[in-house]
Structure 1
């Protein structure tokens, strides 16, 4: 009886091994039959599917959806991004997208979803993701991207959707021109007046220049509003920004100032200071406060929302 049981167990184990080998062989055959092409990205060159069908990404969900690509899984924060309420997406567009946790993505769950392409925003995740599927590194911020449009076009290139990306860029440029005309027509901001962009954090204030975060790109590069000389000097700095003490803020203030508050206690200290109250922008009621969250990302949906926020503040629209 024991011999029979032992033989049966061995046969069962052999069957399992054969099934696993068969599955691996089938996957290799399937992978070998999928047409691929070389794609150059920030971490090197990777052979990717010509037509990826099961995409997982730890960043850039807004870019993907704007291109008509629904990822199978994303990082948890992507499903709660600030642009989502602004975008007015079809109610089912995000349904079924799996939550893979934070950085790095949950590798076990990621593997179980059998992606055929992974997009990574951080180079240090490249190696472990690549063991699961072809992985490309497209960072949140990179010197290879002069503007957010460059990043959008790079992601579009990955999916052979450059024409679709250019169509949206063209439409957005028209929206920018229309918004700029309305801003100057409102009379609130006059030609030649300067604008500053700042964010109040826990310890100090950051000022942003052209192509900078927290509205720097939208205000200076997209809407082409005029930066102060000091803000203009920040164009080639990392993230287009510089850290200031509270006392240095007036030196960077333009005729108009956009301020986003990340830390309310520090903002209160700034707003109650005599040097703040003495600046022309404050005296002329030309300081505009806005929510930082919608300015954290640079996908097409976020840019559309940012344009509405800035244009409404400068035209008095609701």
Structure 2
């Protein structure tokens, strides 16, 4: 009997070890397969130009215009950005290359897995050979919906919606505080000097206009409303600037920009200037309307109007 039992026990032990080995191997295969799916999986994004298959978890994004701050705010890695984004001191872009839609060789070297830009992008066909390309028409969507769309593209919609809800609440509350201090009827203008031209802005052309007019509901001077509200901005001469100046004036300018207009008698005689109701912002920090920029703009307006 003992002679029969021992071989039987050995057989059972051998089968048990084999089964354990198979289970371990199967678990390993499953783990590897899941990692592969997580790394190389894709989602289909419904872009303006139709469906585009993009990485579910992009790791090497190139932004060729405007939207670098949106991508950064969602903690998605950037490897290349446009010149305007690169000069923004609010963006942390150390090690990120400056690129253009015409510098294809440099983009190839960056090995992007996703390329984002405006609908005016050049060489789209060639760029699509390097990575999926998604473009947006500037101003087609309101500024917060635009961020949400970029978040959908990057598979980060939940995070974006949470930030949007919180930001709107804080911006609107700040608007109520500001109106209580400066008066319900007070007007605000946003101007910028660029390439020796003066511009005044409507309510959707960055420079903090979305916050001031859309969220805070501050008043736009009638002249600005007539000329800049629909197109987004309006070019004007120094001589007529007083007609566009509100009770409060936001001046967006860079250090190297020509600002001699601020030394003119015409400018100095504007009531907002005389009353010291002018707030000067660094244009390089004010050009965009992504979450990083918007958070800074909101802080700037609170400090400027409320002193906190």
TM-score bracket relative to the smaller structure:
0.7 to 0.9
Q: How many residues align?
A: 269
Structure-2 change in CA distance of 1:249 and 1:42 (3 Å): same
Rounded Cα–Cα distance in structure 2 between residues aligned with 1:265 and 1:111: 34
Match of 1:39 in 2: 45
Deviation track 1:250-269 (CA, whole Å, cap 9, x = no partner) reads: 11111111122358785334
Match of 2:100 in 1: 103
Match of 1:194 in 2: 187
Give the C-alpha shift of residue 280 in structure 1. 2.5
Q: How does 1:72-91 map to 2 (within 5 A)?
A: 72-75=79-82, 78-84=85-91
1:261/1:289 contact within 8 Å kept: yes
Q: Does residue 215 in structure 1 map to residue 208 in structure 2? A: yes
Match of 2:239 in 1: 247
Give the C-alpha shift of residue 306 in structure 1. 0.9
| Structure 2 gaps, min length 5 | 1-35
Structure 1, 196-205 or 299-308: larger mean CA deviation: 196-205
Q: How does 1:1-318 map to 2 (within 5 A)?
A: 35-59=41-65, 60-75=67-82, 78-84=85-91, 97-99=95-97, 101-104=98-101, 106-121=103-118, 122-138=120-136, 142-146=138-142, 148-185=143-180, 187=181, 189-233=182-226, 234-237=228-231, 240-262=232-254, 267-273=259-265, 275-317=266-308
| Structure 1 gaps, min length 5 | 1-29, 86-93
Please give the TM-score of this superposition, normalised by the length of structure 2.
Answer: 0.75
Deviation track 1:123-149 (CA, whole Å, cap 9, x = no partner) reads: 21311210112211135xx24222x21
How big is the alpha-carbon RMSD for the aligned residues of Structure 1 and Structure 2? 2.9
SS in structure 1 of the partner of residue 116 of structure 2: strand
Structure-2 change in CA distance of 1:54 and 1:235 (3 Å): same
Please give the TM-score of this superposition, normalised by the length of structure 1.
Answer: 0.73
SS in structure 1 of the partner of residue 91 of structure 2: helix
1:120/1:126 contact within 8 Å kept: no
Rounded Cα–Cα distance in structure 2 between residues aligned with 1:152 and 1:164: 11
Deviation track 1:272-302 (CA, whole Å, cap 9, x = no partner) reads: 22x4343322333222222211111221011
SS in structure 2 of the partner of residue 115 of structure 1: coil
Structure-2 change in CA distance of 1:74 and 1:190 (3 Å): same
Structure-2 change in CA distance of 1:54 and 1:179 (3 Å): same
Greater radius of gyration (CA) = 2
